[in-house]
Chains A and B, each alone.
Chain A
Amino acid sequence: MTWFTVAKKDFRDAVQSRALWALVGVFVLVSLLSTYAYVEVPEMFGSPAGATFGGLLFFTVGLTGLFVPLAAIVVCYKSLAGERELGSIKLLLSLPTSRSQVLAGKVAGRAAVLTFGLGVGLVVGLGFGSLLLGTFDAVAALTFVAVTLAFAAIYAAIIVSISATTGSTSRATTLSLGFFVVFELLWDVVPMGILYVVEGFSFPTTIPDWIFPVMQLAPSSAYFSTIVALLPDLADTVGAEPAQTGVGAEADAAGAEPFFASPEVGIAILALWLVVPLAVGYYRFDASDL
Protein backbone atom coordinates (compact mmCIF):
# COMPACT_ATOMS: atom_id res chain seq x y z
CA MET A 1 0.00 0.00 0.00
CA THR A 2 1.35 3.38 -0.98
CA TRP A 3 0.15 5.15 2.19
CA PHE A 4 2.98 3.55 4.09
CA THR A 5 5.55 4.78 1.59
CA VAL A 6 4.03 8.26 1.80
CA ALA A 7 4.13 8.10 5.60
CA LYS A 8 7.75 7.00 5.60
CA LYS A 9 8.78 9.78 3.25
CA ASP A 10 6.81 12.31 5.27
CA PHE A 11 8.45 11.19 8.49
CA ARG A 12 11.88 11.25 6.91
CA ASP A 13 11.19 14.76 5.64
CA ALA A 14 9.83 15.99 8.97
CA VAL A 15 12.56 14.59 11.21
CA GLN A 16 14.99 16.83 9.36
CA SER A 17 13.07 19.93 10.34
CA ARG A 18 14.46 21.98 13.19
CA ALA A 19 10.92 22.72 14.38
CA LEU A 20 10.46 19.09 15.37
CA TRP A 21 13.63 18.95 17.41
CA ALA A 22 12.81 22.26 19.04
CA LEU A 23 9.48 20.74 19.98
CA VAL A 24 11.06 17.64 21.47
CA GLY A 25 13.51 19.85 23.38
CA VAL A 26 10.78 22.07 24.73
CA PHE A 27 8.68 19.15 25.83
CA VAL A 28 11.55 17.38 27.54
CA LEU A 29 12.38 20.60 29.36
CA VAL A 30 8.78 21.32 30.37
CA SER A 31 8.36 17.73 31.42
CA LEU A 32 11.48 17.82 33.64
CA LEU A 33 10.63 21.19 35.17
CA SER A 34 7.01 20.37 35.90
CA THR A 35 7.90 16.97 37.35
CA TYR A 36 10.43 18.62 39.61
CA ALA A 37 7.94 21.28 40.66
CA TYR A 38 5.27 18.69 41.38
CA VAL A 39 7.55 16.53 43.48
CA GLU A 40 8.89 19.51 45.44
CA VAL A 41 5.60 21.28 46.17
CA PRO A 42 2.78 18.77 45.58
CA GLU A 43 0.32 20.91 47.60
CA MET A 44 0.37 23.50 44.86
CA PHE A 45 -0.47 20.98 42.14
CA GLY A 46 -3.50 19.17 43.49
CA SER A 47 -1.88 16.65 45.84
CA PRO A 48 -2.25 18.07 49.37
CA ALA A 49 -1.47 14.64 50.88
CA GLY A 50 1.98 14.61 49.31
CA ALA A 51 3.45 13.61 45.98
CA THR A 52 2.52 10.21 44.55
CA PHE A 53 3.24 8.62 41.21
CA GLY A 54 -0.50 8.62 40.43
CA GLY A 55 -0.68 12.26 41.34
CA LEU A 56 2.21 12.97 39.01
CA LEU A 57 0.39 11.21 36.16
CA PHE A 58 -2.78 13.23 36.62
CA PHE A 59 -0.78 16.40 36.96
CA THR A 60 1.01 15.58 33.70
CA VAL A 61 -2.34 14.96 31.96
CA GLY A 62 -3.18 18.60 32.47
CA LEU A 63 0.08 19.56 30.78
CA THR A 64 -0.16 17.17 27.85
CA GLY A 65 -3.78 18.19 27.35
CA LEU A 66 -2.47 21.64 26.47
CA PHE A 67 0.82 20.66 24.89
CA VAL A 68 -0.48 18.02 22.48
CA PRO A 69 -2.98 20.28 20.65
CA LEU A 70 -0.37 23.02 20.24
CA ALA A 71 2.32 20.58 19.14
CA ALA A 72 -0.10 18.93 16.71
CA ILE A 73 -0.85 22.32 15.17
CA VAL A 74 2.86 23.10 14.76
CA VAL A 75 3.66 19.70 13.27
CA CYS A 76 0.58 19.22 11.08
CA TYR A 77 -1.03 22.46 9.93
CA LYS A 78 1.03 22.62 6.75
CA SER A 79 1.00 18.90 6.03
CA LEU A 80 -1.34 19.03 3.03
CA ALA A 81 -2.13 22.71 2.59
CA GLY A 82 1.60 23.41 2.38
CA GLU A 83 2.18 20.74 -0.24
CA ARG A 84 -0.70 22.13 -2.25
CA GLU A 85 0.48 25.70 -1.91
CA LEU A 86 4.02 24.84 -3.00
CA GLY A 87 3.08 22.27 -5.62
CA SER A 88 4.97 19.27 -4.24
CA ILE A 89 1.59 17.51 -4.06
CA LYS A 90 1.79 17.32 -7.86
CA LEU A 91 4.93 15.25 -7.59
CA LEU A 92 3.23 13.00 -5.08
CA LEU A 93 -0.05 12.58 -6.93
CA SER A 94 1.68 11.97 -10.26
CA LEU A 95 2.75 8.66 -8.79
CA PRO A 96 0.46 5.64 -8.65
CA THR A 97 -1.40 6.56 -5.50
CA SER A 98 -4.73 8.09 -4.60
CA ARG A 99 -5.80 11.02 -2.50
CA SER A 100 -7.09 8.72 0.23
CA GLN A 101 -3.69 7.00 0.41
CA VAL A 102 -1.94 10.35 0.54
CA LEU A 103 -4.21 11.56 3.35
CA ALA A 104 -3.72 8.30 5.28
CA GLY A 105 0.03 8.47 4.74
CA LYS A 106 0.18 12.07 5.90
CA VAL A 107 -1.80 11.27 9.05
CA ALA A 108 0.41 8.27 9.81
CA GLY A 109 3.63 10.18 9.10
CA ARG A 110 2.74 13.24 11.15
CA ALA A 111 1.29 11.10 13.95
CA ALA A 112 4.58 9.22 14.05
CA VAL A 113 6.51 12.49 14.27
CA LEU A 114 4.29 13.81 17.04
CA THR A 115 4.15 10.63 19.10
CA PHE A 116 7.89 10.21 18.74
CA GLY A 117 8.61 13.67 20.13
CA LEU A 118 5.99 13.35 22.81
CA GLY A 119 7.08 9.82 23.73
CA VAL A 120 10.64 10.96 24.34
CA GLY A 121 9.41 13.80 26.56
CA LEU A 122 7.03 11.59 28.54
CA VAL A 123 9.54 8.84 29.16
CA VAL A 124 12.15 11.35 30.32
CA GLY A 125 9.66 13.21 32.54
CA LEU A 126 8.09 10.16 34.13
CA GLY A 127 11.45 8.45 34.56
CA PHE A 128 12.76 11.54 36.30
CA GLY A 129 9.64 11.70 38.46
CA SER A 130 9.82 8.07 39.55
CA LEU A 131 13.49 8.58 40.40
CA LEU A 132 12.64 11.54 42.63
CA LEU A 133 9.66 9.78 44.18
CA GLY A 134 11.30 6.39 44.48
CA THR A 135 8.11 4.68 43.24
CA PHE A 136 6.95 3.51 39.86
CA ASP A 137 3.60 2.09 38.78
CA ALA A 138 4.30 0.30 35.50
CA VAL A 139 0.67 -0.44 34.58
CA ALA A 140 -0.46 3.10 35.23
CA ALA A 141 2.54 4.59 33.47
CA LEU A 142 2.09 2.38 30.40
CA THR A 143 -1.64 3.09 30.26
CA PHE A 144 -1.00 6.77 30.59
CA VAL A 145 1.69 6.83 27.88
CA ALA A 146 -0.40 4.68 25.53
CA VAL A 147 -3.51 6.86 25.91
CA THR A 148 -1.47 10.04 25.57
CA LEU A 149 0.21 8.83 22.40
CA ALA A 150 -3.16 7.75 21.00
CA PHE A 151 -4.49 11.19 21.88
CA ALA A 152 -1.54 12.77 20.06
CA ALA A 153 -2.15 10.57 17.01
CA ILE A 154 -5.82 11.55 16.99
CA TYR A 155 -4.89 15.21 17.25
CA ALA A 156 -2.50 14.75 14.33
CA ALA A 157 -5.43 13.29 12.36
CA ILE A 158 -7.59 16.29 13.28
CA ILE A 159 -5.05 18.89 12.19
CA VAL A 160 -4.01 17.01 9.04
CA SER A 161 -7.71 16.78 8.16
CA ILE A 162 -8.07 20.52 8.66
CA SER A 163 -5.01 21.01 6.48
CA ALA A 164 -6.61 18.78 3.83
CA THR A 165 -9.58 21.10 3.45
CA THR A 166 -7.60 23.99 2.01
CA GLY A 167 -4.82 24.81 -0.41
CA SER A 168 -3.62 27.82 1.55
CA THR A 169 -1.35 27.56 4.56
CA SER A 170 -2.61 30.83 6.01
CA ARG A 171 -6.14 29.50 5.95
CA ALA A 172 -4.92 26.21 7.44
CA THR A 173 -3.29 28.21 10.26
CA THR A 174 -6.47 30.17 10.90
CA LEU A 175 -8.63 27.05 10.91
CA SER A 176 -6.26 25.12 13.20
CA LEU A 177 -5.93 27.95 15.70
CA GLY A 178 -9.68 28.57 15.50
CA PHE A 179 -10.25 24.92 16.31
CA PHE A 180 -7.91 25.19 19.28
CA VAL A 181 -9.56 28.33 20.62
CA VAL A 182 -13.10 27.01 20.26
CA PHE A 183 -12.58 23.43 21.44
CA GLU A 184 -9.75 23.80 23.93
CA LEU A 185 -9.88 27.30 25.34
CA LEU A 186 -13.54 28.19 25.22
CA TRP A 187 -15.25 24.83 25.27
CA ASP A 188 -15.99 24.79 28.98
CA VAL A 189 -17.73 28.09 28.55
CA VAL A 190 -19.76 27.16 25.49
CA PRO A 191 -22.05 24.51 27.05
CA MET A 192 -22.49 26.71 30.11
CA GLY A 193 -23.41 29.59 27.89
CA ILE A 194 -25.94 27.43 26.09
CA LEU A 195 -27.35 26.32 29.43
CA TYR A 196 -27.54 29.92 30.58
CA VAL A 197 -29.52 30.90 27.49
CA VAL A 198 -31.75 27.81 27.53
CA GLU A 199 -32.64 28.37 31.18
CA GLY A 200 -33.83 31.86 30.51
CA PHE A 201 -30.60 33.73 31.18
CA SER A 202 -29.96 32.29 34.61
CA PHE A 203 -28.12 29.27 35.94
CA PRO A 204 -30.31 26.46 37.31
CA THR A 205 -29.55 25.03 40.74
CA THR A 206 -28.74 21.62 39.30
CA ILE A 207 -26.69 21.01 36.19
CA PRO A 208 -28.69 18.92 33.68
CA ASP A 209 -27.32 15.56 32.51
CA TRP A 210 -26.53 16.61 28.95
CA ILE A 211 -23.92 19.12 30.01
CA PHE A 212 -21.32 16.55 30.91
CA PRO A 213 -21.09 14.76 27.56
CA VAL A 214 -21.14 18.11 25.79
CA MET A 215 -18.24 19.37 27.91
CA GLN A 216 -16.41 16.16 27.16
CA LEU A 217 -16.72 16.83 23.46
CA ALA A 218 -13.47 18.79 23.51
CA PRO A 219 -10.68 16.37 22.54
CA SER A 220 -8.54 17.11 25.59
CA SER A 221 -11.50 16.64 27.95
CA ALA A 222 -12.27 13.32 26.27
CA TYR A 223 -8.60 12.44 26.68
CA PHE A 224 -8.75 13.19 30.39
CA SER A 225 -11.96 11.20 30.80
CA THR A 226 -10.34 8.30 29.00
CA ILE A 227 -7.44 8.31 31.45
CA VAL A 228 -9.91 8.40 34.35
CA ALA A 229 -11.91 5.56 32.80
CA LEU A 230 -8.82 3.39 32.32
CA LEU A 231 -7.20 4.21 35.67
CA PRO A 232 -10.23 4.48 37.99
CA ASP A 233 -8.39 3.49 41.17
CA LEU A 234 -5.70 6.08 40.69
CA ALA A 235 -8.29 8.68 39.78
CA ASP A 236 -10.13 8.01 43.04
CA THR A 237 -7.06 8.32 45.20
CA VAL A 238 -5.98 11.46 43.42
CA GLY A 239 -9.51 12.79 43.50
CA ALA A 240 -9.49 13.68 39.85
CA GLU A 241 -12.83 14.74 38.47
CA PRO A 242 -13.36 14.38 34.77
CA ALA A 243 -13.43 17.54 32.75
CA GLN A 244 -11.79 19.74 35.30
CA THR A 245 -8.32 19.67 33.89
CA GLY A 246 -9.45 21.21 30.66
CA VAL A 247 -7.35 24.14 29.63
CA GLY A 248 -10.04 26.56 30.72
CA ALA A 249 -11.32 25.84 34.20
CA GLU A 250 -14.01 28.50 34.24
CA ALA A 251 -16.80 25.93 34.37
CA ASP A 252 -15.65 24.32 37.59
CA ALA A 253 -17.35 26.69 39.94
CA ALA A 254 -20.66 26.33 38.19
CA GLY A 255 -20.25 22.58 37.80
CA ALA A 256 -19.91 21.84 41.48
CA GLU A 257 -22.58 19.13 41.35
CA PRO A 258 -21.22 15.61 40.77
CA PHE A 259 -21.26 14.54 37.17
CA PHE A 260 -23.57 11.74 36.14
CA ALA A 261 -22.28 10.35 32.91
CA SER A 262 -19.48 7.83 33.05
CA PRO A 263 -15.95 8.75 32.00
CA GLU A 264 -16.09 5.95 29.42
CA VAL A 265 -17.91 8.43 27.21
CA GLY A 266 -14.49 9.95 26.64
CA ILE A 267 -13.25 6.88 24.77
CA ALA A 268 -16.20 7.01 22.38
CA ILE A 269 -15.72 10.73 21.84
CA LEU A 270 -12.02 10.28 21.10
CA ALA A 271 -12.96 7.64 18.52
CA LEU A 272 -15.35 10.14 16.95
CA TRP A 273 -12.58 12.74 16.85
CA LEU A 274 -10.56 10.29 14.80
CA VAL A 275 -13.32 9.42 12.34
CA VAL A 276 -15.29 12.62 11.80
CA PRO A 277 -12.47 15.06 10.93
CA LEU A 278 -10.88 12.46 8.64
CA ALA A 279 -14.18 11.97 6.83
CA VAL A 280 -14.66 15.73 6.40
CA GLY A 281 -11.02 16.27 5.43
CA TYR A 282 -11.08 13.46 2.89
CA TYR A 283 -14.35 14.64 1.41
CA ARG A 284 -13.01 18.15 0.90
CA PHE A 285 -9.57 17.00 -0.29
CA ASP A 286 -10.97 14.49 -2.76
CA ALA A 287 -13.36 17.02 -4.29
CA SER A 288 -10.87 19.84 -4.68
CA ASP A 289 -8.89 21.07 -7.65
CA LEU A 290 -5.23 21.04 -6.68
Chain B
Amino acid sequence: MAAIELEGLTKRFGDVVAVDDLDLSVEEGEIFGFLGPNGAGKSTTIDILLDFLRPTSGTVTVLGHDAQSEGLAVRSRIGVLPDAYHVYDRLTGRQHVEFAIEMKGADDGAQALLERVRIADAADRKAGGYSKGMRQRLVLAMALVGDPDLLVLDEPSTGLDPNGAREMREIIREENDRGTTVFFSSHIMEQVEAVCDRVAIIDRGRLVAVDTIDGLRDSTETGETLYVYVTELDDGILERVGGLEGVGSAAIDDDRLRVTVDGVSKFAVLHAIDEIAGVQDFSVVESSLEDLFVRYTNEVSEVEA
Protein backbone atom coordinates (compact mmCIF):
# COMPACT_ATOMS: atom_id res chain seq x y z
CA MET B 1 0.00 0.00 0.00
CA ALA B 2 1.18 3.50 -0.78
CA ALA B 3 1.94 5.75 2.17
CA ILE B 4 0.88 8.82 0.22
CA GLU B 5 -1.19 8.83 -2.92
CA LEU B 6 -2.00 12.04 -4.78
CA GLU B 7 -4.49 11.81 -7.61
CA GLY B 8 -5.17 14.73 -9.90
CA LEU B 9 -4.49 17.10 -7.04
CA THR B 10 -5.22 20.72 -7.93
CA LYS B 11 -5.33 23.78 -5.72
CA ARG B 12 -6.19 27.24 -6.92
CA PHE B 13 -6.01 30.46 -4.90
CA GLY B 14 -8.17 32.77 -6.95
CA ASP B 15 -6.49 32.92 -10.35
CA VAL B 16 -3.27 31.36 -9.16
CA VAL B 17 -2.84 27.65 -9.69
CA ALA B 18 -0.55 26.59 -6.86
CA VAL B 19 -0.78 22.85 -7.54
CA ASP B 20 -1.72 21.65 -10.98
CA ASP B 21 -3.07 18.15 -11.50
CA LEU B 22 -0.45 16.36 -9.42
CA ASP B 23 -0.23 12.56 -9.42
CA LEU B 24 2.25 11.01 -7.06
CA SER B 25 2.68 7.82 -5.10
CA VAL B 26 5.03 7.41 -2.15
CA GLU B 27 5.63 3.81 -1.13
CA GLU B 28 5.72 2.63 2.46
CA GLY B 29 9.20 2.46 3.90
CA GLU B 30 10.94 4.82 1.54
CA ILE B 31 12.54 8.19 2.08
CA PHE B 32 10.96 10.42 -0.48
CA GLY B 33 12.27 13.85 -1.37
CA PHE B 34 9.88 16.47 -2.63
CA LEU B 35 11.99 18.98 -4.42
CA GLY B 36 11.27 22.29 -6.03
CA PRO B 37 12.18 25.95 -5.95
CA ASN B 38 10.44 28.32 -3.56
CA GLY B 39 6.84 28.82 -4.56
CA ALA B 40 6.69 25.64 -6.61
CA GLY B 41 3.73 24.29 -4.65
CA LYS B 42 5.51 22.01 -2.18
CA SER B 43 4.05 23.50 0.97
CA THR B 44 0.62 23.80 -0.60
CA THR B 45 0.72 20.08 -1.37
CA ILE B 46 1.84 19.25 2.16
CA ASP B 47 -0.77 21.56 3.66
CA ILE B 48 -3.47 19.70 1.73
CA LEU B 49 -2.03 16.42 2.95
CA LEU B 50 -2.42 17.72 6.53
CA ASP B 51 -5.90 19.14 5.80
CA PHE B 52 -4.81 22.72 6.49
CA LEU B 53 -5.96 23.49 2.96
CA ARG B 54 -8.79 21.95 0.98
CA PRO B 55 -8.04 20.90 -2.60
CA THR B 56 -9.87 22.49 -5.50
CA SER B 57 -10.04 19.03 -7.06
CA GLY B 58 -8.37 15.65 -6.78
CA THR B 59 -7.75 13.45 -3.76
CA VAL B 60 -5.01 12.77 -1.26
CA THR B 61 -4.82 9.43 0.51
CA VAL B 62 -2.42 9.05 3.42
CA LEU B 63 -1.81 5.57 4.88
CA GLY B 64 -5.08 4.45 3.35
CA HIS B 65 -7.14 7.31 4.75
CA ASP B 66 -8.59 10.23 2.85
CA ALA B 67 -6.73 13.32 4.04
CA GLN B 68 -9.83 15.51 4.00
CA SER B 69 -12.59 13.29 5.35
CA GLU B 70 -10.45 11.16 7.67
CA GLY B 71 -7.91 13.74 8.79
CA LEU B 72 -7.97 12.61 12.39
CA ALA B 73 -7.04 9.03 11.43
CA VAL B 74 -4.26 10.39 9.23
CA ARG B 75 -2.82 12.69 11.87
CA SER B 76 -2.90 10.02 14.55
CA ARG B 77 -0.35 8.01 12.55
CA ILE B 78 1.95 10.71 11.26
CA GLY B 79 4.52 13.08 12.68
CA VAL B 80 4.69 16.54 11.16
CA LEU B 81 7.18 19.33 10.90
CA PRO B 82 5.08 21.94 9.15
CA ASP B 83 6.19 24.99 7.21
CA ALA B 84 5.72 28.55 8.52
CA TYR B 85 4.67 27.37 11.96
CA HIS B 86 5.06 29.35 15.14
CA VAL B 87 5.79 27.93 18.58
CA TYR B 88 3.90 28.93 21.71
CA ASP B 89 6.23 31.63 22.98
CA ARG B 90 5.20 31.39 26.62
CA LEU B 91 5.50 27.61 26.93
CA THR B 92 8.79 25.82 27.48
CA GLY B 93 10.28 23.28 25.11
CA ARG B 94 9.39 20.52 27.54
CA GLN B 95 5.78 21.72 27.75
CA HIS B 96 5.57 21.61 23.95
CA VAL B 97 6.75 18.01 23.81
CA GLU B 98 4.54 17.01 26.75
CA PHE B 99 1.61 18.60 24.96
CA ALA B 100 2.32 16.54 21.83
CA ILE B 101 2.64 13.38 23.95
CA GLU B 102 -0.70 14.03 25.62
CA MET B 103 -2.42 14.90 22.34
CA LYS B 104 -1.14 11.72 20.72
CA GLY B 105 -1.88 9.59 23.76
CA ALA B 106 1.70 8.32 23.58
CA ASP B 107 3.94 7.18 26.39
CA ASP B 108 7.26 8.65 25.24
CA GLY B 109 9.47 10.46 27.69
CA ALA B 110 9.79 14.15 26.90
CA GLN B 111 13.36 14.23 28.18
CA ALA B 112 14.54 11.41 25.88
CA LEU B 113 13.05 13.13 22.84
CA LEU B 114 14.58 16.47 23.77
CA GLU B 115 17.94 14.78 24.17
CA ARG B 116 17.57 13.10 20.82
CA VAL B 117 17.15 16.45 19.06
CA ARG B 118 19.82 17.96 21.32
CA ILE B 119 17.91 20.75 23.03
CA ALA B 120 17.61 19.03 26.42
CA ASP B 121 19.70 21.76 28.04
CA ALA B 122 17.15 24.35 26.93
CA ALA B 123 14.13 22.21 27.78
CA ASP B 124 12.85 24.43 30.57
CA ARG B 125 13.31 27.73 28.79
CA LYS B 126 10.40 29.39 27.07
CA ALA B 127 10.31 28.46 23.40
CA GLY B 128 9.77 32.12 22.50
CA GLY B 129 13.47 32.64 23.21
CA TYR B 130 14.65 29.75 21.03
CA SER B 131 16.65 30.31 17.87
CA LYS B 132 15.14 29.20 14.58
CA GLY B 133 17.29 26.09 14.60
CA MET B 134 16.22 25.19 18.15
CA ARG B 135 12.58 25.63 17.23
CA GLN B 136 13.09 23.38 14.27
CA ARG B 137 14.59 20.75 16.58
CA LEU B 138 11.76 21.21 19.06
CA VAL B 139 9.08 20.69 16.44
CA LEU B 140 10.98 17.68 15.12
CA ALA B 141 10.86 16.24 18.65
CA MET B 142 7.09 16.82 18.67
CA ALA B 143 6.86 15.07 15.29
CA LEU B 144 8.75 12.04 16.61
CA VAL B 145 6.32 11.53 19.51
CA GLY B 146 4.47 8.24 19.36
CA ASP B 147 6.64 6.51 16.72
CA PRO B 148 4.68 7.68 13.68
CA ASP B 149 4.36 5.45 10.61
CA LEU B 150 4.98 8.43 8.38
CA LEU B 151 7.02 11.57 8.92
CA VAL B 152 6.04 14.60 6.89
CA LEU B 153 8.77 17.22 7.07
CA ASP B 154 8.37 20.52 5.26
CA GLU B 155 11.81 22.05 4.67
CA PRO B 156 13.32 20.35 7.74
CA SER B 157 16.74 21.96 7.37
CA THR B 158 15.45 25.52 7.49
CA GLY B 159 17.38 27.46 10.10
CA LEU B 160 19.80 24.64 10.82
CA ASP B 161 23.55 25.02 10.47
CA PRO B 162 25.44 22.33 8.51
CA ASN B 163 25.88 20.25 11.66
CA GLY B 164 22.22 20.55 12.47
CA ALA B 165 21.27 19.59 8.93
CA ARG B 166 23.46 16.51 9.22
CA GLU B 167 21.88 15.55 12.55
CA MET B 168 18.49 16.02 10.96
CA ARG B 169 19.49 13.60 8.18
CA GLU B 170 20.75 11.11 10.76
CA ILE B 171 17.43 11.19 12.56
CA ILE B 172 15.60 10.76 9.27
CA ARG B 173 17.73 7.69 8.50
CA GLU B 174 17.26 6.23 11.99
CA GLU B 175 13.52 6.64 11.76
CA ASN B 176 13.51 5.09 8.32
CA ASP B 177 15.52 2.13 9.62
CA ARG B 178 12.71 1.49 12.07
CA GLY B 179 10.28 1.27 9.19
CA THR B 180 8.99 4.84 9.12
CA THR B 181 8.21 6.31 5.75
CA VAL B 182 9.69 9.78 5.38
CA PHE B 183 8.33 12.42 3.05
CA PHE B 184 10.19 15.68 3.09
CA SER B 185 10.39 18.75 0.98
CA SER B 186 13.36 20.88 0.20
CA HIS B 187 14.52 23.45 -2.27
CA ILE B 188 18.10 22.25 -1.92
CA MET B 189 19.07 19.25 -4.00
CA GLU B 190 22.08 18.44 -1.88
CA GLN B 191 19.96 17.63 1.18
CA VAL B 192 17.64 15.43 -0.79
CA GLU B 193 20.47 13.70 -2.59
CA ALA B 194 22.09 12.66 0.68
CA VAL B 195 19.21 10.63 2.10
CA CYS B 196 16.45 10.02 -0.41
CA ASP B 197 15.49 6.79 -2.08
CA ARG B 198 13.33 8.59 -4.57
CA VAL B 199 12.76 12.17 -5.55
CA ALA B 200 9.96 14.12 -7.15
CA ILE B 201 10.74 17.48 -8.68
CA ILE B 202 7.91 19.96 -8.81
CA ASP B 203 7.91 23.33 -10.50
CA ARG B 204 5.11 25.86 -10.86
CA GLY B 205 2.66 23.36 -9.42
CA ARG B 206 3.49 20.64 -11.92
CA LEU B 207 5.45 17.46 -11.51
CA VAL B 208 8.49 17.51 -13.77
CA ALA B 209 10.29 14.34 -12.68
CA VAL B 210 9.93 11.37 -10.34
CA ASP B 211 12.80 8.95 -10.08
CA THR B 212 15.53 7.51 -7.93
CA ILE B 213 18.65 9.62 -7.52
CA ASP B 214 20.55 7.23 -9.81
CA GLY B 215 17.72 7.25 -12.28
CA LEU B 216 17.82 11.01 -12.40
CA ARG B 217 21.56 10.89 -13.00
CA ASP B 218 21.22 8.34 -15.75
CA SER B 219 18.36 10.09 -17.47
CA THR B 220 20.42 13.13 -18.14
CA GLU B 221 23.93 14.04 -19.01
CA THR B 222 25.69 13.72 -15.74
CA GLY B 223 29.06 12.32 -14.84
CA GLU B 224 31.76 14.80 -15.65
CA THR B 225 31.98 17.78 -17.89
CA LEU B 226 35.20 18.97 -19.50
CA TYR B 227 35.68 22.56 -20.51
CA VAL B 228 38.45 22.65 -23.10
CA TYR B 229 40.19 25.65 -24.64
CA VAL B 230 41.39 24.73 -28.08
CA THR B 231 43.44 26.61 -30.65
CA GLU B 232 40.63 26.73 -33.19
CA LEU B 233 36.95 26.11 -32.80
CA ASP B 234 34.24 25.76 -35.41
CA ASP B 235 31.25 23.60 -36.18
CA GLY B 236 33.31 21.08 -38.07
CA ILE B 237 35.59 20.54 -35.11
CA LEU B 238 32.59 20.39 -32.81
CA GLU B 239 31.07 17.67 -34.94
CA ARG B 240 34.24 15.61 -34.96
CA VAL B 241 34.63 15.93 -31.17
CA GLY B 242 31.01 14.95 -30.70
CA GLY B 243 31.67 11.78 -32.60
CA LEU B 244 34.58 10.67 -30.43
CA GLU B 245 34.24 7.54 -28.38
CA GLY B 246 33.13 8.20 -24.79
CA VAL B 247 31.86 11.68 -25.50
CA GLY B 248 28.25 12.11 -24.42
CA SER B 249 27.66 15.53 -25.85
CA ALA B 250 29.72 18.40 -27.13
CA ALA B 251 28.83 22.05 -27.36
CA ILE B 252 30.45 25.44 -27.72
CA ASP B 253 30.20 27.41 -24.54
CA ASP B 254 31.94 30.79 -24.22
CA ASP B 255 34.57 29.98 -26.86
CA ARG B 256 35.29 26.75 -25.09
CA LEU B 257 34.36 23.21 -25.91
CA ARG B 258 31.93 21.80 -23.39
CA VAL B 259 32.22 18.04 -23.47
CA THR B 260 30.54 15.49 -21.26
CA VAL B 261 32.45 12.33 -20.64
CA ASP B 262 30.80 8.97 -20.19
CA GLY B 263 32.55 5.86 -19.04
CA VAL B 264 36.02 6.46 -20.47
CA SER B 265 38.99 8.22 -19.02
CA LYS B 266 39.03 11.97 -19.33
CA PHE B 267 42.63 11.75 -20.43
CA ALA B 268 41.74 9.61 -23.42
CA VAL B 269 39.10 12.10 -24.48
CA LEU B 270 41.43 15.07 -23.98
CA HIS B 271 44.10 13.29 -25.99
CA ALA B 272 41.66 12.64 -28.81
CA ILE B 273 40.53 16.27 -28.82
CA ASP B 274 44.15 17.41 -28.88
CA GLU B 275 44.63 15.52 -32.13
CA ILE B 276 41.66 17.34 -33.70
CA ALA B 277 42.37 20.81 -32.38
CA GLY B 278 45.29 21.64 -30.11
CA VAL B 279 44.30 21.75 -26.44
CA GLN B 280 45.51 24.89 -24.67
CA ASP B 281 43.90 24.45 -21.32
CA PHE B 282 41.03 22.59 -19.71
CA SER B 283 38.97 22.30 -16.54
CA VAL B 284 36.82 19.52 -15.16
CA VAL B 285 33.47 20.05 -13.52
CA GLU B 286 31.63 17.23 -11.86
CA SER B 287 28.06 17.82 -12.79
CA SER B 288 25.82 17.47 -9.79
CA LEU B 289 22.18 16.86 -9.32
CA GLU B 290 22.06 20.51 -8.43
CA ASP B 291 22.72 21.33 -12.10
CA LEU B 292 20.08 18.86 -13.02
CA PHE B 293 17.61 20.43 -10.63
CA VAL B 294 18.34 23.89 -11.95
CA ARG B 295 17.87 22.69 -15.51
CA TYR B 296 14.63 20.90 -14.67
CA THR B 297 13.12 23.85 -12.95
CA ASN B 298 14.40 26.58 -15.26
CA GLU B 299 13.96 24.88 -18.58
CA VAL B 300 10.90 22.83 -18.01
CA SER B 301 9.68 23.31 -21.55
CA GLU B 302 12.96 22.12 -22.99
CA VAL B 303 13.08 19.05 -20.78
CA GLU B 304 9.50 18.19 -21.60
CA ALA B 305 10.17 18.61 -25.30
Contact = CB atoms under 8 A, between A and B. Distances in A.
A in complex with B: yes
Interface of A: 2, 5-6, 9, 12-13, 16-17, 86-88, 90-91, 93-98, 287, 289-290
Given A9-B91, A12-B95, A94-B50, A87 B103 contact: no
B87 interface: yes
Contact of B103 (A5, A12, A88, A290): A5
Closest 7 CB pairs of A and B: A94-B80, A96-B76, A86-B86, A95-B103, A90-B82, A87-B86, A88-B86
A90 B84 contact: yes
A90 B85 contact: yes
Interface stretch (B51-59, B187-195, B198-206, B296-304): B51-59
Interface residues of B, number: 30
Contacts of A98: 71-72
Contact of A96 (B82, B103, B139): B103
B47 interface: yes
A81 B100 CA distance: 22
B271 interface: no
A290 B47 contact: yes
Contacts, number: 73
B91 A13 contact: yes
B53 A289 contact: yes
Contacts of A12: 91, 95
A280 B103 CA distance: 26
B255 interface: no
B72 A96 contact: yes
User: Which of A12, A13, A94 has the largest number of chain B CB atoms within 10 A?
Assistant: A94
B282 interface: no
A91 B52 contact: no
Nearest to B75: A96
B87 A88 contact: yes
A90 B87 contact: no
B215 to A, nearest CB: 32
Interface string B49-85: 0111110000000000000000110011000101111
